[in-house]
Amino acid sequence: MSSCDGRVVVITGAGGGIGRDEALLFAQEGARVVVNDVNAAGAEAVVEEVRALGGEAVASTDDISDWDGAGRLIGTALDTFGGLDTLVNNAGILRDRMFVNMSVDDWDAVMKVHLRGTFCATKHAVSYWRDQSKAGDQRVARIVNTSSPSGIYGNVGQANYGAAKAGLAAFTQILGEELWRYGVLSNAIAPSALTSMTEGLTGYKERLDELEARTGWKNPGGPEHIVALVVWLGSPLAQVNGRVFDVRAGHVDVAEGWRPGPAYTKEGGFTVAELDDVLPGLIARAAPQVNAAGEPKSYGG
């Protein structure tokens, strides 16, 4: 048996990039796939690719940031394949600007797709899973959200995108705490891959070109290197819950998030002078903020 035999999987933003490769690998692992993308041509093309592999797929062009559209998406899985087992929240957009040049429209567009869209699709899916659980037919359900190194480590020029992706990391953890009782496990990936969405990021393609030239590894930024983790997390094999995983070609790690560090405790409140005396020492003892490579970040000075 393959890891996802008979499972029904909904993937948002699957008309290209990482979502396309997720759809193809899920199908190869035995899943029936709903390929969602507002780009109808992209969604239909991926459906045809899945069918050419001998798999089952159907396209959805619903806008997941629209409440009713997200409901129709989940309804497509239920009506076409009779159920839902895994939701992969992959859809996303970029509106990169240095913060001083960022408009409120740049901010709202990113929040609408990443946060509202993920909420709407997930809410409809969870309502179905909760009803199934209460009816005594609990499914082995999985949610795989898509965060980003920008969200958990930060990236210049992506205040909107990073804030949204940090929100999705927290969303993932909270769902993990709330939904296990219904048979639902929630995890997220923070992927690094070269797609149509990321190819314009400053220096990213150049770093990949250098890696390819140095190692001879063809297409090290390809999204195909990301998706095995997503399929594993979306399958019954994964028993982990509430975690975020960094993943790129040839690398996966369990990201370790915010946790209490060096502390000073006393009875009663603080004064400004007291904090001025105590905090520099605590900060000096704290682990440094790092980038996705684990290297300390510079905040000027």
Domain range for residue 169? 8-254
Task: Dump pLDDT digits (tens) for 40-60.
Answer: 999 999 999 999 999 999 999
Per cent of the chain over pLDDT 70 is 92
Residue 271 lies in a domain: no
**Token pair for residue 23?**
């759809």
> Percentages helix, strand, coil for the chain, rounded to the nearest 5?
45, 15, 40
| Stated pTM of the model | 0.92
Residue 133 lies in a domain: yes
How many folded domains does the chain comprise? 1
Residue 264 lies in a domain: no
Task: Dump pLDDT digits (tens) for 103-150.
Answer: 999 999 999 999 999 999 999 999 999 999 999 999 999 999 999 999
Residue 85 lies in a domain: yes
Residue 275 lies in a domain: no
What one-character DSSP code corresponds to residue 82?
S
Regions in the chain scoring below 70 on pLDDT: 194-209, 211-212, 215-218, 301
Instruction: Look at strands 86-89 and 8-11 and give their pairing.
Output: parallel
Q: Catalytic site residues?
A: 148, 161, 165
Please tell me the predicted confidence (pLDDT) of residue 198.
54
Q: Which amino acid is at 172?
A: T
Residue 224 lies in a domain: yes
Residue 280 lies in a domain: no
Please tell me the predicted confidence (pLDDT) of residue 4.
98
Q: Which amino acid is at 147?
A: S
Instruction: Indicate which CATH number applies to the domain containing 194.
Output: 3.40.50.720
Strand ranges in the chain using DSSP code E only, listed in sequence order: 8-11, 32-36, 56-60, 86-89, 141-146, 184-191, 244-248, 251-254
Please tell me the predicted confidence (pLDDT) of residue 62.
98
Please tell me the predicted confidence (pLDDT) of residue 165.
98
Residue 294 lies in a domain: no
Q: Which residue has the tokens 């029936």?
A: 32
